[in-house]
Chain A
Amino acid sequence: MLGALALAPVAAAIPAYGQKPFIYALKPERIADQIWVVRGDDAPIAMANGGAIANIGIIGTAEGAVLFDSGPSLRYGDALQSLATELTGKQVVRVYVSHLHPDHGFGLGAFPASVTTALPETIREIERDSPGFSDGMYRLLGDWMRGTEVKTPAQPLTPGVEVIGGRRLRTIALSGHSGADLCVVDDTSGVLFPGDLVFHNRAPATPEADFSKWRASLDALIGLSPVITVPGHGPVDSTGTAAIRQTRDWLEWLETSIGDAILRGLDMVEAGNMPIPDRFAGMAAARYELQRSISHFYPRMEAALLPRIDVSESATQ
């Protein structure tokens, strides 16, 4: 029903922000009635994109705007707040932070703490890891990060149903991309915001990944039969489940291939240069994420897969 609307951008709804440096030119895509997506750059965090690589959701309600994620910096959060207010005609009343990663949560400083929320485990993970992330983001992004401070979502979220301004939003706690991955479903439209559990035509990032939990979460998402899925990174999936299946396919290939490389005696450098199957040819950042994933998993999986070889010294005489 919403298929025709999906992916049709609203032309010129927002004045261009111009090309001045360190100003995010946010361009919303309308994907359903009162739902917009601000697409991230399908690339690694870099000066050229100001770290704006994650997709951000904006949902209009009678009470105010609801945001799914907040972007990589205070500057982005400010631009997002203006955009949401302009699109919906209302103030932002809720900001869900999907998980701990800085490209999703570092725009929080633009919003009053009272409207910001995340799963309790995400709040713990942000408290634990954000200072380190912050160093890395400032190093990579310089002035884009000006004024950005580490902010923790103030309201621990109990998953269930939230009705905001007449809009029924289901919040679901899953995990696997990180220790806690919040998903939100808009019941009216069937739009699913799965955060970074789902990537689309952009290779998944795995710094905190748990393969088996991630797969189980993807199965759970397929079970929701979403109408439209807004991946954490990559284009909006108007089929509902293609992006979820693609993410699952990649993760399965990745885990199998890393184990296989270890058992064939490849070192990390060689494993990072293994061929990537043709079916992933359209995935942005595939080699980059494969090499990152090898960094995350190789030593751990080697310790599990390679046998002990140490003997007493006398045995070698």
Chain B
Amino acid sequence: MRTLSGLALFAASLAGSASARDFPADPLNSPMWDYRATRLFGADPVRFDPRVKIIVPVIAEDQHRFPVAVDARGIEGVRRILIFADLNPIPLAVDYRPVGAQPYIETRIKLDQRTPVRGAVQIASGEWLVSGIWVDAAGGGCSAPPLSRVRGDWADRLGEMRGGAWSIQGKSDAARLRVSFRHPMDTGLVENTASYYIDHLSVRNARGMELATLEMQAAISEDPSITVLPNASAGERLILAGRDTGGRTYAAIVTVESGAIIPPGGGSQ
């Protein structure tokens, strides 16, 4: 928390002087908006757009593992999707490129305090479309040790991956892929534990075509879980390749099952 308030002060002083450009006024009135926007979007154009749907539970029951979905399927030409929380010491959770996938991602993030949680979508023109929501959370999501570190068994199941892929009803070339890892996702903010997290995951099909690329940060919860919607048909094999900051690699193969019962995003209506 000390890190954070120091950062907030720094940001405030920065916002007062060195704002190189004007970002649109933040509908959430976040104290960190200009600072985060400068870091994440640089000189790219930015606007707020409600078509970037950010879907979260009504309550942050577990600040170590808060599910966030960003659904940009109402937007053409999505190149990247970011999920970030302004007031987290590690703001960015994931930078997702749905190169051969529908623009939707769900993951679970850590929350360090009450904060805006945002989705930002970059379209072909380079412009960023942003939306967000304030989420109330108790402290400690980033600065508390992962449970597996507390228990001491973090290494026992490292590398274990679970998941599945289901074809999306009514769409012959769309699937939903769910994958979870056993990994402590250490933030480096807990005493005596260096940061250690899965920072890269890619999904390709059996022909070697890249479908989805994710750059991840330790703001993603312990035992990370990811849902994406790659373009793949029933029976196709999806090949997953991941890497963590310690250089360990992760590999998995998932075959798309036919006959998913739900339409795309059907549970979120």
Interface residues in chain A, defined as those with a beta carbon under 8 Å from any beta carbon in chain B: 44, 135-136, 139, 207, 261, 264-274, 287-288, 291-292, 294-296, 299, 302-303, 306-313, 315-316
In the complex, chain A residues whose CB is within 8 Å of the CB of B9:
none
Known: A273-B55, A316-B241. A265 touches B159 (CB 8 A): no
* Pairwise interchain contact B162-A316, C-beta atoms closer than 8 A: no
Q: Does B194 contact A (CB under 8 A)?
A: no
A273, A287, A291, A309: most-surrounded residue (chain B CB, <10 A): A309
In the complex, chain A residues whose CB is within 8 Å of the CB of B262:
264-266, 270
In the complex, chain B residues whose CB is within 8 Å of the CB of A266:
262, 267
Closest-by-CB residue of A relative to B140 is: A135
State A316–B57 Cα separation when bound (angstroms).
Answer: 36
Contact of A316 among B180, B253, B261 (CB under 8 A): B253
Known: A261-B267, A295-B57, A303-B162. A310 touches B251 (CB 8 A): yes
* Pairwise interchain contact A299-B225, C-beta atoms closer than 8 A: yes
Residues 92-131 of B, flagged 1 when their CB comes within 8 A of A and 0 if not, give: 0000000000000010100000000000000000000000
* Pairwise interchain contact B239-A316, C-beta atoms closer than 8 A: yes
In the complex, chain A residues whose CB is within 8 Å of the CB of B163:
306-307, 309
State A316–B201 Cα separation when bound (angstroms).
Answer: 14
Q: Does B8 contact A (CB under 8 A)?
A: no
Further pairs besides A299-B65, A303-B162: 8, Cβ < 8 Å? A267-B106, A291-B61, A295-B62, A302-B225, A306-B163, A308-B162, A313-B249, A316-B253
* Pairwise interchain contact B260-A270, C-beta atoms closer than 8 A: no
In the complex, chain B residues whose CB is within 8 Å of the CB of A136:
138
Residues 160-180 of B, flagged 1 when their CB comes within 8 A of A and 0 if not, give: 111111100000000010111
Contact of B166 among A264, A273, A302, A312 (CB under 8 A): A264
State A295–B239 Cα separation when bound (angstroms).
Answer: 29
State A268–B223 Cα separation when bound (angstroms).
Answer: 14
Contact of B138 among A135, A303, A312, A316 (CB under 8 A): A135
Q: What are 17 A-B pairs at a CB distance below 8 A?
A: A44-B59, A267-B225, A270-B265, A270-B267, A273-B267, A291-B61, A295-B62, A299-B180, A303-B162, A307-B164, A309-B162, A309-B240, A310-B160, A310-B161, A310-B250, A310-B252, A316-B251
State A307–B261 Cα separation when bound (angstroms).
Answer: 19
Interface SS of chain A: helix, strand, loop or mixed?
helix
* Pairwise interchain contact B176-A265, C-beta atoms closer than 8 A: yes
In the complex, chain A residues whose CB is within 8 Å of the CB of B61:
207, 291-292, 295-296
* Pairwise interchain contact B178-A265, C-beta atoms closer than 8 A: yes
Known: A291-B59, A295-B57, A299-B65. A139 touches B252 (CB 8 A): no
Contact of B57 among A207, A269, A274, A306 (CB under 8 A): A269
* Pairwise interchain contact B178-A311, C-beta atoms closer than 8 A: no
* Pairwise interchain contact A294-B57, C-beta atoms closer than 8 A: yes
* Pairwise interchain contact A287-B266, C-beta atoms closer than 8 A: no
In the complex, chain A residues whose CB is within 8 Å of the CB of B250:
310
* Pairwise interchain contact A270-B180, C-beta atoms closer than 8 A: no
In the complex, chain A residues whose CB is within 8 Å of the CB of B166:
264-265
* Pairwise interchain contact B180-A302, C-beta atoms closer than 8 A: yes
State A303–B147 Cα separation when bound (angstroms).
Answer: 15
Residues of chain B in range 50-97 having any CB-CB distance to chain A below 8 Å: 55-59, 61-62, 65, 67-69
Contact of B69 among A267, A292, A294 (CB under 8 A): A267
* Pairwise interchain contact A265-B252, C-beta atoms closer than 8 A: no
Residues of chain B in range 219-245 having any CB-CB distance to chain A below 8 Å: 223, 225, 227, 239-241
Q: Does B17 contact A (CB under 8 A)?
A: no
Q: Does B46 contact A (CB under 8 A)?
A: no
**3 residue pairs, one from A and one from B, having the closest CB atoms:** A270-B267, A268-B67, A295-B61
